[in-house]
Amino acid sequence: MPLKHTHLIPILLLLALGACSSAPPKTDEAPAKTEAPATKQQIHEPSQETVRPEPVSEPDTQQETIAEIPPFQFDSGLPSTGLPQFRGNNTHTYYGTGPFPATEPEVVWKFKTDVFIKGKKKLEWQGLGWTGQPAVVQEDVEGEKRWVVYLASLDGNLYKLDLLTGRLLLKSKENYTIFKSSPTVTDKYVLAGSWNNKEHIFDRYTFEEVGFEEAVYTKSASYDFDGSARVEDGFIYIGGEDGYIRKLSATPPFTRQWIYPLKEPSSRFKYKNGKPYVGIESSIAIYKDIVIVGSGSGYLIFVDKNTGKLLHKFDTGDDTDASPVVDEENGFVYIGVEKDNSDKPGGVYKLNMKAEVQWFFEVGKEGVYGTPALRDDKLFVPGDDSFLYCLDTKTGEKIWRQRLPDSSWSSPVVIDDKVMIGDYAGYLSAFSTQKGYPVWQKKFDGYIVSTPAVWNGIIVVGSRDGYIYALADQSRAAAMRAHFAKNSD
């Protein structure tokens, strides 16, 4: 069943918070179109320090309320509270908890990742990439229940931070090349896909690797795992750039249950080297007994969750890296598509579960890379054409659109009555969901293609400048600083 979330009761912050095959060598450079590395001007010296800006005034002594920490429970292998995976649940429709900042939030802390140097061109990778959403869950830390942040960084490291202070709690002992996927946290494990052709499975509390799923080496030009794993009813579902969807057991030895397709994937689209473009960078969605995922070969694929047999295959017409968004109540799916390999326009489709088109909305430039956000009768669509669109889910008609400072690959998140999105100019922008009125905008040094996480009104987002930032409104920021000061004595 999809992840469920309980309502939280506010109390005082300071009281509440106390498989596998041998691999051929991988080519030095990824042949696929991908996000650019950070520029030289954006690079900072790597460190594991948590940097906290000086407060503009003395911390507010007024007591601040933040949601109570509920009992730690599990549902289908996932923590029942928090954001344990990309977009919160298996339908990609859970975004976190507020209250959302009504004015431009403050940076409470920032954490610097390492820098990974790749290839002959010495490209530098740091911070969080696409989709790169932090996971936020609760666990025991030093004898207390605390909210912690899991990061799978472009520097090839896995990190765990304290949500309130940004303090580093744990870092992977080894480097795993480049992580682009968002981490998926279960009761025992953390899963993250890497450019070293593996979906890695780590012990959640030690970061020791306990298993992995490796790419199937065919004619495909790329074998990365960029999409994020889904976990449901004791099984793991993941797609790879090798063009395969697979189901694994969620317990050791993580045995493969099925793989789709049974024959080598093919595509009408080719790389410049002539190899087929079959890659799955989309994160799987699950609706009842149906697994749904987009493909670089230009299809939205519907597969039986239990058997791995193909149910439907919808022709999107071009590269489909965005993740499906499922309207679970009404049985519809929304999917963004790019304009990358064909003359067909990019945009977003609404389909039923028989893969029948309900409507299509065209988006300019290169279409849609980010995953749309669904809230009630509105769909929020990020555009490579530098617009954020709000669409009527019934008709597909535009309700409003707002121009962004630059193109957006980030996936918007909806908290309370606000929608927030990052872009290539390095801005986080927030708008009202009803009319699209600008609420606030905040500039960072590097561009943002990652997806923000919001928990208890705290925004955590990674930039390509190499930093992970925690933002909050003024009163909450003061309470967080007071908490840090109290616990650092």
In a domain, 276, yes or no: yes
Average pLDDT, the chain: 85
pLDDT bucket at 76, cuts 50 / 70 / 90 = very low
Mapping DSSP to helix (H, G, I), strand (E, B) and coil, where does residue 103 land? coil
How far apart (Å, rounded) are the C-alpha atoms in residues 228 and 237?
9
In a domain, 409, yes or no: no
Q: Tell me: the pLDDT tens digits for 96-141? A: 999 999 999 999 999 999 999 877 777 889 999 998 999 999 999 9
In a domain, 223, yes or no: yes
Q: Say which CATH number the domain at 224 has.
A: 2.140.10.10
Mapping DSSP to helix (H, G, I), strand (E, B) and coil, where does residue 476 land? helix
The count of domains in the chain is: 1
In a domain, 151, yes or no: yes
In a domain, 430, yes or no: no
Q: Tell me: the pLDDT tens digits for 20-61? A: 333 333 333 333 444 544 432 332 223 344 443 333 323 333
**Lowest mean pLDDT across 3-12, 235-244, 423-432:** 3-12
How far apart (Å, rounded) are the C-alpha atoms in residues 102 and 473?
7
What is the Rg, in whole angstroms, of the alpha carbon atoms belonging to the chain?
Answer: 21
Q: Tell me: the pLDDT tens digits for 360-400? A: 999 999 999 999 999 999 999 999 999 999 999 999 999 99
By residue range, what is the domain housing residue 306? 44-55+69-366+461-487
Q: Tell me: the pLDDT tens digits for 290-337? A: 999 999 999 999 999 999 999 999 999 999 999 999 999 999 999 999
Residue 480 has pLDDT above 80, yes or no: yes
Structure tokens at 445: 């040094």
**Are the C-beta atoms of 413 and 95 separated by less than 8 Å?**
yes
In a domain, 428, yes or no: no
How far apart (Å, rounded) are the C-alpha atoms in residues 171 and 173?
6
Provide the edge-to-edge strand list for the sheet that holds 256-260.
230-232, 235-239, 245-249, 256-260
The answer for residues whose C-beta is within 8 angstroms of residue 274's C-beta and 6 or more apart is none
The DSSP line for 246-257 is EEEESSTT--EE
Q: Tell me: the pLDDT tens digits for 424-438? A: 999 999 999 999 999
Short-list 271, 262, 228, 258, CA closest to 243: 262
| pLDDT given for residue 441 in this prediction | 98
| pLDDT given for residue 489 in this prediction | 59
Cα separations in angstroms, 411 against 5, 64, 210, 428, 443? 21, 30, 30, 11, 17
**Are the C-beta atoms of 474 and 117 separated by less than 8 Å?**
no
Please give the distance of CA 337 from its chain centroid, rounded to a whole number: 17
In a domain, 155, yes or no: yes
**What percent of the chain shows pLDDT beyond 70?**
83
In a domain, 147, yes or no: yes
